[in-house]
Amino acid sequence: MFLKRMIKLIIKHERYLLCLNIIFFCLYFYLLTYHLGSVPRLFIDEVNYANEVRSFASFGTDIHGLHFPVYLSSVWGQGQSVLYAIFSVPFVKIFGFSILVFRFPFVLLTFSLLVLLFVLLYFKMKQRKLATFVNIAIITTPWTFISSRWILDANVAPVIFLFGVLSLWLGLISPIFLHRYIYLVMGAVLLALTTYGYITAWIYLPILCVLYLIYFLRNKLLSAREYLVFSVFLVILVLPIIYFAYRVNVVHASSASKFLFFDIPPLPANRVESLINFSQSNLLLEMLKNSLNGISVYFKGTDGLAWNSVSPFGAIMPWSLLFIPIGMFTSNMAIDHRVRQFKKLICLNIVAFIPLMFIVIPNYNHWNFLNINLSVMMGFGLYEVFNTIKNMGKFRILIPVMPLLLFVWFINQAYFGVGGKGTFYESQQISYSEVEKINTIMQRKKFDGKWLFINNLSRMFPYFKLVQQPVDNNTYLSISGQKDNFGKNMGLVKKYDYLKDMSVVGKAKSGDLAIVAPNFINPNWEKITDITFGGAPYLLVRKIDGN
């Protein structure tokens, strides 16, 4: 029935508007996948996550040998969420590992979310103009594009979160008893999954659920029984991550344990730096400063971290922030009442984040639950302004055209500028092909058994681990010289396979190699070849005597 109505709408109604949106989607998908395997270069957090996914695909465990971890300790015990592995591991199993295969599932996930939201607004709710403006707002939001093209483990949580909100919304508006319960359970599952995607969700989700409870019961949108079903499923699904939080933050566990069949790893380098210091004397003042700093970050158009944003575009383009309060506070009775309920859910999502603004140190990653909701509300604001300025005639077209033009500017400067390498490309560290080239050289027979000395080995070895054949946990411990997975010096290695840290280059023997600066001159070392590392020129040199 729904498919038949959709086909009729395509044939008879507003076909040009629909065609325009289809063009938007096609162009956006092309941009999301364009040079996906090489632009941007690999950031260290992405490399660590790629190693985890490759380990799951090859051996069924994380890099530390755990089969069902609720969280990943990662290389240095700093922790990474497990959620994206659920989506990416099947792709790597089927197609083999590459950066393209590793990144593509998230592109597909984000794109599917945009299409689903558009279909619901355009076809199911028949709010065609609103659907178009929301679509324009989301696809022109820099954060949507940036977060979709490289894998920071926290990026996936807001996407799954909005899937959960859409499911919950469908449960609220569905007139069919069974359908309501199905959508509510799906919503609970998806919202629960966000806690396995980002630690901020541990604080955010309880606040949001309280606001939802008040809103649902006060407006009689759900019965107490329906909300109980939603809550029970949510609580049961988050129990393993609650136990993990208890082990990490209260017990300060130093070894892995079990919760049912789940593995509970320790987190030696707990990321408490994401929160403000609660032990200081002027705590209230610091909380206020933190929130104001966060707000200013959005108006400045950068959070100062090159891997999060490109100035002056920010996560949400600063000029577009004006449309967000318009979308939130304008009450348009011409919009279908079911869509107004969706808008209220998005508003509640934004309000629920306000307490976190005081305690979570602001940058676009830490505040990413805010980004995706703001972009949706920007679409509502654009729609309201477009409908209000009817007397401006042809100038109204600037409302949808301006964000599209600014997005083109952003794309050119951030990603595909001169030589196809924009600002964001340069902000990342090392490309897969650079490390792969060095690894190929080291595989030559004449270098068999020789060491390669490199600066900052503890940080660099995950790049080399990624381009080599995958190794299981026991082999990983052996070739990195570590005694156990979660020891005191976890990840602080002085050797890895053929790699050694430059700090011990004095022990190099004849035939050993090193990566050095291009102006390096030493009669005991000979140049083998020029290389690039992190986009910068280096020399690969070989020791020619035994001194």
Over the stretch 476-519, which tens digit does the pLDDT of each residue have?
999 998 888 998 888 889 899 999 999 999 999 999 999 999 99
For residue 488, which of 255, 179, 203, 152 has the smallest C-alpha distance?
255
State the Cα–Cα distance between residues 29 and 24, nearest whole angstrom: 9
For residue 241, which of 290, 191, 288, 286 has the smallest C-alpha distance?
191
Checking DSSP bridges between strand 513-516 and strand 452-454, what pairing results, if any?
A: parallel
The structure tokens listed for 97 are 């590992």
Residue 287: CB atoms within 10 A of its CB come to 16
The structure tokens listed for 142 are 């820099």
For residue 382, which of 16, 174, 132, 162 has the smallest C-alpha distance?
132
Q: How far is CA 53 from CA 59, 81, 157, in A?
A: 10, 11, 17
Residues 6+ apart with CB under 8 A from 223: none
Residues 6+ apart with CB under 8 A from 256: 64, 66, 263, 264, 265, 266, 485, 486
State the Cα–Cα distance between residues 141 and 364, nearest whole angstrom: 13
Helix axes 44-59, 99-119, angle to 10 degrees: 100
Mind listing the pLDDT tens digit of every residue in the chain (547 residues)? Answer: 544 454 455 445 566 889 999 999 999 999 999 999 988 889 999 999 999 999 999 999 999 999 999 999 999 998 999 999 999 999 999 999 999 999 999 999 999 999 999 999 999 999 999 999 999 999 999 999 999 998 988 899 999 999 999 999 999 999 999 999 999 999 999 999 999 999 899 999 999 999 999 999 899 999 889 999 999 999 999 999 999 999 998 888 889 999 999 999 999 877 666 888 888 889 999 999 999 999 999 999 999 887 778 888 999 999 999 999 999 999 887 899 999 999 999 999 999 999 999 999 999 999 999 999 999 999 999 999 998 887 776 778 889 999 999 999 998 887 776 555 666 656 667 999 999 999 999 999 999 999 999 999 999 999 999 999 999 999 999 999 888 899 888 888 989 999 999 999 999 999 999 999 999 999 999 999 999 998 889 999 999 975 5
Look at residue 333 in the predicted model and tell me its pLDDT.
Answer: 79
Helix (H), strand (E), coil (C) string for 26-56: HHHHHHHHCCCCCCCCECHHHHHHHHHHHHH
Look at residue 6 in the predicted model and tell me its pLDDT.
Answer: 47
The reported pTM is 0.93
Contact between residue 409 and residue 145 where contact means Cβ atoms under 8 Å apart:
no
Residues 6+ apart with CB under 8 A from 427: 40, 306, 307, 310
Say which DSSP state 253 is in. -
φ and ψ of 517, to 5 deg? -65, 155
Say which DSSP state 67 is in. S
Look at residue 277 in the predicted model and tell me its pLDDT.
Answer: 81
Domain boundaries, the chain: 2-420, 432-543
Residue 11: CB atoms within 10 A of its CB come to 8
Q: How far is CA 387 from the centre of its chain?
A: 34
For residue 10, which of 2, 181, 444, 268 has the smallest C-alpha distance?
2
Identity of the residue numbered 53: V
State the Cα–Cα distance between residues 529 and 87, nearest whole angstrom: 40
